[in-house]
Chain A
Amino acid sequence: MSQFIAFMMLQGFVGYISLAATLIIVLVVIFLIATSAKNDDESSVEHKVSKIRGRYVFGLSVILAISLFISLRFLPYPRFQGKADEVVTVVGIQWDWEMAHGISNKTPHEFFGRNEITLPVNKRIKFIVTSDDVTHNFGIYNSKGVLLTQTQAMPQYNNELQYIFSQKGKYTILCLEYCGLVHPFMTGTIDVQ
């Protein structure tokens, strides 16, 4: 539940911060139009604006530095993840997902799996994701249609994605990289118990 709320909060945060930025930009546009009827000497305008610009650069740099410092601590890459409780091999093929427990020692072409898998709740799962043909994208959605996490499924490479399912239920895998005509129908299911 907490993880679900966290992601909902992340999407909500993105929405609100973008709305706030848009409103600020719109207000600046309105301000510029509304104040343009007056006439000021160009050098005095430049002087006024340069003062604000200095503060703006300082403020923006601080915000960017803080945002970088915070956001770069939450990277989805394997190096920043803990030890997995369970491993799942995933192979994307046009247009299906093949999944099986454990690390596969077969080539993606020889690999056989199913597009449904059952996984335990509150365990750290490592998905080793690759492709047998073109590039796909392994996107995990909850039952409400919220995108939880994702990684690319690329031929010749293994991307390792870790995720802890904190709620029991049905999760859907959608392909998030256009991979040919049947792309919107390339789905899979994870049953978390």
Chain B
Amino acid sequence: MIQLEPVNLKKQRRLAVTWGITFLILFPLLAILGLIMRLGQGELIKLSLTNFYAFMTLHGLGMAGLLFSMAFAAIWYLIGTRFAELNIRIGYFIFFTILIGLTGLTIGTLIGKFGPGWYMLYPLPVKNPTWVSWSIETSIISIVILGIGWLTGILHVLFSLSKEYRGFKNLLGWQYLRKKRGPKKELPPVVLITTISLIPGIMGFMAGITLMAMYLLQSFKSVLSFDPLLLKNMTFFFIHTLVNITLYLSVGWVHVLLPEFTGRVWRTSKVQVCAWNATFFLILFAYFHHLYMDFVQPLAMQYAGQIAYYLSSIPATTIVMFGVVVQLYHSKIKWGVIPLMFLLGMAGWAIGGFAALVDSTIAVNKILHNTLWVPAHFHTYTLMGIVLFILGFLFYLFPAKNNQQEDKVANAGFWIFVTGSYGFLLMFYLGGLSSIPRSYARYTGMGIESMHARAVGLSQVSIAFIILLFIGLFIMTFSLLAKLQRQRGDVN
């Protein structure tokens, strides 16, 4: 643990609060795009194809970027106030870089109608585009700007931690593997998880920036052509790693904050070190499952994809989930909104993770790939996993004098949000089981009448649940902002 000067602590806190407020503004705005898309699919509003796909692109890219940024900001705050000194100027540099990147993406998609989808599979963004050419360059440069911001932050955090814990080997927990001597300095689980997540993050972002550079080159010189299979591998390595490490980072701060409610210690152990080091490699190989339907992909990679994904469930459940059980079982915890968010966040991760595991089975993937099952599972572990962890962190960050457990408003908002979210997700899952394709702006052109009726019906039902989700979200946001206001009053 480090001891920060109160003035520096205040600065780090202000940065985290700024991030929190930014998240509370941007998250509902990006979510509204999702609601509009479901309204269009449900045939309740007329939404042009151009707008649908521009919204889909911004919703996906914006959410993936925002969630990672917020997760990174939370980890930055916890590490910067407890485990290693972090430069506040770099913190603000990242904040403004990300704001610029997100603004550029918004301009590219909403004004330029850039709409190749959030993972923009090569060569769609640059081949026969139906969006104006400046929107390609604006959006791609914006993604590069995001990448530069994130890479700067990651490198700063890793080098600061490395200095504090005397080397990368110690950050990876290898000192725990020595037979006789234990570690000289205890490694908090959050530091281990952050390291394990951020190193693949560097590789993923480097792949992403290289990919964007290739897109830019082709956008300027249309005669250029790249290997679509290679670029597809790079794309999924980039985006899968981004989403994967967002989840792991958020699991990281649960290791710090949940013990404050249970009064129990969550220490790094030898088993944990082994499991997380194994996870490091599994993060790198897990993206292979996105390419099962590319039959020309080398067979060894297809096998490795399924095996890696299956194996990843062992450390995830045995170390993290059982760690949560050790924390909570017979702990006499008082169930406020924060521990509830962490517990249900774990459940969301497990439910979405299981659905992903099913889809990562090659024999099953051929009837689920690119159906609504895919957005179903990734929305589960983002909305009911990462977002709950983030909200839990924000409730922790914005405490007021009154007791968390007594905050009935926040609790009510939380349960409404969870009910709405699971209802919304269930419609996606049922859509996937009904073979309804994902990324369809309209269901009128499929030529299968029964399927059209099913798809429209599920979209319409999901809208009711999305509205519920928004009501819950607004109640929680109101509660959070009221706490922040009270806290400011307390300080003054």
Which residue of chain A lies nearest to B324 when distances are taken between CB atoms in the complex? A32
Give bound CA distance, A40 to B362, whole Å.
Answer: 44
Q: How far is the CB of B54 from chain A (nearest CB, A)?
A: 10
Instruction: Flag if B318 contacts A57 (CB, 8 Å).
Output: yes
Q: Given known contacts A161-B295, A181-B50, A181-B130, is B329 in contact with A172 (CB within 8 Å)?
A: no
Given the known interface contacts A45-B326, A145-B451, A189-B447, the answer about A74 and B363 at a Cβ–Cβ threshold of 8 Å is yes
Residue of A nearest to B41 (CB): A184
Would you call A110 an interface residue if the criterion is a C-beta within 8 Å of the partner chain's C-beta atoms?
A: no
- Which residues from chain A contact B49 at a C-beta distance below 8 Å? 181-182
- Given the known A-B contacts A14-B368, A25-B351, A29-B343, are A134 and B123 also in contact in the complex, defined by CB atoms under 8 Å? yes
A145 to B449, CA, bound (A): 8
Asked if B123 and A144 make an inter-chain contact with CB atoms under 8 angstroms apart, the answer reads no
Partner of A29, one of B265, B318, B347: B347
Which residue of chain A is the closest to B54 with respect to CB atoms?
Answer: A181
| Binary B-proximity of A116-147 (CB < 8 A = 1, otherwise 0) | 00000000000000000111010101011111
Known: A29-B344, A134-B124, A150-B366. A139 touches B358 (CB 8 A): no
**B75-123 with Cβ < 8 A to chain A:** 115-117, 121-123
- A32-69 CB mask vs B (1 if < 8 Å, else 0) is 11011111101001101100110011001100100110
Residues A180 and B128 in contact in the complex (CB < 8 Å), given A35-B329, A36-B333: yes
- The answer, yes or no, to whether B311 is at the interface (CB within 8 Å) is yes
In this complex, the member of A38, A144, A145, A150 whose beta carbon has the largest number of chain B beta carbons within 10 angstroms is: A145
Bound state CA distance, A18 and B376, in angstroms?
12
**Cβ–Cβ contact A32 & B343, under 8 A:** yes
Contact: B299 with A71, CB < 8 Å?
no
The reply to whether B329 and A40 form a contact with Cβ atoms under 8 Å apart is yes
Chain A neighbourhood of B435, CB < 8 A: 11, 141, 145-147
Query: Which of B215-223, B225-233, B243-251, B468-476 sits within the interface?
Result: B225-233
Cα-based distance from A176 to B302 in the complex (angstroms): 20
Contacting pair A67 B310 (CB below 8 A):
yes
Tell me, yes or no, whether B3 is within 8 Å of chain A by CB.
no
In whole angstroms, how far apart are the Cα atoms of A137 and B117 in the complex? 15
B128: A residues at CB distance < 8 A:
94, 133-134, 180
List, in ascending order, chain A residues with CB within 8 A of B370's CB.
Answer: 137, 139, 150, 176-177
Please determine whether B229 and A172 come into contact, CB atoms closer than 8 angstroms.
no
Q: Which residues of A contact B (CB under 8 A)?
A: 7, 10-11, 14-15, 17-18, 21-22, 25-26, 28-29, 32-33, 35-40, 42, 45-46, 48-49, 52-53, 56-57, 60-61, 64, 67-68, 71-72, 74-79, 94, 133-135, 137, 139, 141, 143-152, 154-161, 172, 174-185, 187, 189
Given A36-B328, A139-B437, A151-B293, 8 further pairs, Cβ under 8 A: A14-B433, A39-B330, A71-B306, A77-B302, A152-B294, A181-B130, A184-B440, A187-B446
